[in-house]
Structure 1
């Protein structure tokens, strides 16, 4: 007795942006599938090399009530950024001096916006995430003590920034590694008691923030939950399980997928 017929591959394609059921033309992919692959690959490369619009980011943060300062890592250009990840995790001396002059006071939280591996994602989404996050933090009585815009940034650059500023917690909004299904994905990395030398197990991450992924409202909800609980419990990373999903309505789009990102 035969089982139920398999669902057509075209039905599966409606459930995922992954490349499945492409068909074939002889021993090769169909022309349309090949052209779509080449287009997505080009978009991913363009996202990596996009210009980080620092002036627009600074204006946008100021417009929503955050007085931001601009810093940079020790990389000199985009080529060096890609070849020397270690330099993207260290502030240049001028930035260290600038932040040292702004340190002091009881600062619970610092927000850092960094270009990362997809400046295009940061240009497109970071301001809207911050805009959605601010009223949620205000409702919890949490003030953003510092806002920083960082060029040539890797995730760990936030640790040095937070340590110099004396922030109890740092939130790093940064462009994630572009993929063939999403070239403009933004990630948020949260670290309690930031200091130089921390590893990724000390961080929480909310990833896949983009048009076909996690929406701004749900991303802000998750980030605010992690900030509130992290500050209350005095920890972050693997010791802080994200249980915000039990409270928040799902707003992920039908075409989105959940997959781990890594931007270090």
Structure 2
């Protein structure tokens, strides 16, 4: 006789589908409730999402990683004095602090020519995302940008997407790319969003940007994300615009370039 006690969890016949998604499906039942393991996993994910919002960005480590990848770096901070103000006052996160604005303006005077692109690595709503994914993504992208004049990578704290407009304007950049931690989900506390704006200046609207979202190994991997951003950068430079006027047709090129046994190459 089998001495093992019978399980109190009623298995879901759709359990096999769980291998295809991180969504919470086919968790089973324990009576009229969730199994303990599923409940504890949910509470852990909820705690990770909360932590992602409040965890400060380790700027020193990020500067070190970016410099090791070949980027010059600068610091910037929004007008939000702390995390509490940042969360309650989104407008402050879109505006550069006075000291940062002055420092960026001074640095712009040292540049021999206007950068084709400036990258802003921002904490946003998940410092985890910026810390984990920004550097490997940029390392995947950089070989695609041969011949581009790449400006300094700006590490921005208490930042919203629009903070990149002021940074790009002060550095006289032709385009700005903001890599920012997205709002955490219960299965993705470290999702990185990428926002491209041509001719950045204060007052640009979200309709004037292109967005690539959920960049992370479990979502959109670094190589295809870099392929897509390079495509958009090339088109933006050609058309002198971004946003609703710039259609992202990179998917068809990505499928064509990712042949069996091959590698993804820039368009």
Is the TM value for this pair above 0.5?
yes
Decide whether the 8 Å contact of 1:185 with 1:208 is kept in 2.
Answer: yes
What is residue 176 of structure 2 aligned with on the other side?
170
Q: How far is 1:185 from its partner?
A: 0.7
From 102, 109, 134, the equivalent of 2:117 is 109
What is the CA deviation profile of residues 140-183 of structure 1, one whole-angstrom value per residue up to 9, with x for unaligned ones?
x2221232111111001001111111111100011111101111
From 215, 220, 224, the equivalent of 2:221 is 215
Matched, 1:30 2:38: no
| Structure with greater Cα Rg | 2
TM-score by length of 2: 0.86
What is the CA deviation profile of residues 87-116 of structure 1, one whole-angstrom value per residue up to 9, with x for unaligned ones?
100000001101111225332111111111
Decide whether the 8 Å contact of 1:218 with 1:250 is kept in 2.
Answer: no
Q: What does 1:86-165 correspond to in 2, within 5 Å? A: 86-103=91-108, 105-138=113-146, 141-165=147-171
Q: How many residues align?
A: 244
Q: How far is 1:33 from its partner?
A: 1.4
Decide whether the 8 Å contact of 2:168 with 2:201 is kept in 1.
Answer: yes
Q: Which has the higher relative contact order, 1 or 2, with Cα contacts under 8 A spaced 6 or more apart?
A: 1
Q: 1:94 to 1:250 in 2, by over 3 A?
A: farther
Secondary structure, counterpart of 1:248 in structure 2: helix
User: For 1:53 and 1:151, how far apart are their aligned partners in 2?
Assistant: 10
User: For 1:74 and 1:117, how far apart are their aligned partners in 2?
Assistant: 16
Q: How far is 1:213 from its partner?
A: 1.0
**Aligned CA-pair RMSD:** 1.9
Secondary structure, counterpart of 1:149 in structure 2: strand
What is residue 56 of structure 1 aligned with on the other side?
61
Q: How far is 1:250 from its partner?
A: 9.2
What is residue 234 of structure 1 aligned with on the other side?
240
What is residue 187 of structure 2 aligned with on the other side?
181
Q: How far is 1:26 from its partner?
A: 3.1
Bigger mean CA deviation after superposition, 211-220 or 122-131: 211-220
Q: 1:34 to 1:23 in 2, by over 3 A?
A: same
Decide whether the 8 Å contact of 1:88 with 1:152 is kept in 2.
Answer: yes
TM-score by length of 1: 0.87
User: For 1:182 and 1:250, how far apart are their aligned partners in 2?
Assistant: 29
Decide whether the 8 Å contact of 1:215 with 1:251 is kept in 2.
Answer: no
Q: Flag as ranges the 4+ runs of structure 1 deviating above 6 A.
A: none
What is residue 198 of structure 2 aligned with on the other side?
192
Q: How far is 1:249 from its partner?
A: 4.4
Gap runs ≥5 in structure 1: 1-6, 253-264
